[in-house]
Amino acid sequence: MTALLQLASRIKNGQAVVGIYGLGYVGLPLALRFAEVGVKVIGFDIDGAKIEKLNSGQSYIERLTTELIGQALAQGFEATGNFARTSEADALVICVPTPLDQHRQPDLSFIINTVEAMLPHMREGQLLSLESTTWPGTTEEVLAPRLRARGLVPGQNCALVFSPEREDPGNPHYGTKDIPKVIGGMTPSCLALGTGLYRRAIDTMVPVSSPRAAEMTKLLENIHRAVNIGLVNEMKIVADKMGINIHEVIDAAATKPFGFVPYKPGPGLGGHCIPIDPFYLTWKAREYGVNTRFIELAGEINHFMPHWVVGKVADALNDRGKAVKGSRILVLGLAYKKNIDDTRESPAVEVMDLLQAKEAHIDYSDPHVPVFPRKRNYHFDLQSVPLNAQTLVSYDCVVLATDHDGFDYALLQEHAQLIVDTRGRIRGDALNVVAA
């Protein structure tokens, strides 16, 4: 029996061992889902603290409870930093970050470093799946040549697919198993093997013709959101100049039963996907002589929004005879969207950084993020400030950056001297509230 036939048999019989590379907001939920359906999972990560926590039954992601971790451990899940154990897995799923570098160019170093660490321990009869969002062609142009250099030929003695992650942290209606899974394979046999594997854990599979089509699908999804959010953010700026409440306008427009989809403005884009993914396509498009002006314009608008918020803070303080310099400012909400603990690319952090650069005294309050997390580009030695009447009254300005449902908005309005609301959470004509 050939290596791929053996792999197909192991997948069909539920014997395939799955290795998940990168145990963050994408990799860990996927690992737990595979474990939930009885699949043996080995989780790989370079962060020793994460490995230790998981193997001791602890979680570092708020929505993934210790109970879920314990259940996975009981099913044989284990975390490791030993990449030599790659040989033990039948399916290798890469879920590592794909950030932008300092020049806003795609940074595939996490993918490349992971693959290079895996390759010495890979063998015939394994399936490699890339889930990290990237530019169309990455699977075929970056991963496939590295496999071939080791004698692993997709469709002959190994399988290679791209299946983009579609996690939506904080969404109560769609978990890992509920979100349809797009997948493209290097060959029809690769696609069949990848689909067979994921079908054990995901309810609906969406096969497409190639890895490039799957890669482009993920970019289209996120660019669609980025462009529409850019539009509504620009509309917010125009409406503000005209003295119109953009949130009232959006609510009214949303009553149209066709042809309109409401998007909410805010202080900027956050999360690992929407602020970053459009630039992966614009970078690759230049190779084909295409200038993606529409996408880049939306990116410029969204990138500007934290600066817009800081300008509104400065104007609001100035109207009260105060300067930003020396003011005590409390930022409410550090996560990039409400009711989660994910701070990746959060505009709230950039707002904090811009205000601190203007020599304001900055604190934050977020019930989901008790300690300011480690970040590549920002560092604040801060812990979340408790939100109470005494705390609120001590600040010159409170910036509502993320509208967690757990915040007491009545308390906020009663005791804050000045509120700059970037989310439209506080409606009405309160004298201490400024929309931003």
Phi, psi of 179 (to 5 degrees): -85, 120
User: What residues are labeled active site?
Assistant: 273
| 3-state DSSP assignment of residue 436 | coil
Please list, in sequence order, all residues whose beta carbon lies within 8 angstroms of the beta carbon of residue 305, skipping any fewer than 6 positions away: 233, 265, 266, 267, 268, 269, 347
Q: What is the dihedral of CA 305, 309, 311, 315, to 10 degrees?
A: 150
Rounded to whole angstroms, how far apart are CA atoms 16 and 76?
Answer: 13
Angle at 230 between CA 428 and CA 224, to 5 degrees: 120
209 three-state secondary structure: coil
Nearby residues of 74 by Cβ (< 8 Å), 6 or more positions away: none
Asked whether 83 and 70 are in contact (CB, 8 A), the reply is: no
363 backbone dihedrals φ, ψ, rounded to 5°: -135, 170
Strand order in the sheet with 433-435: 361-365, 328-332, 397-400, 419-421, 433-435
In the numeric block, which tokens belong to residue 197? Answer: 């594997």
Are 177 and 201 spatial neighbours (Cβ–Cβ below 8 Å)? yes
248's enclosing H/E stretch is helix 246-253
- 236/234 Cα distance (integer angstroms): 5
**Residue whose C-alpha is closest to residue 215's, from 293, 105, 98:** 98
The conformation of residue 396, written as its DSSP 8-state character, comes to S
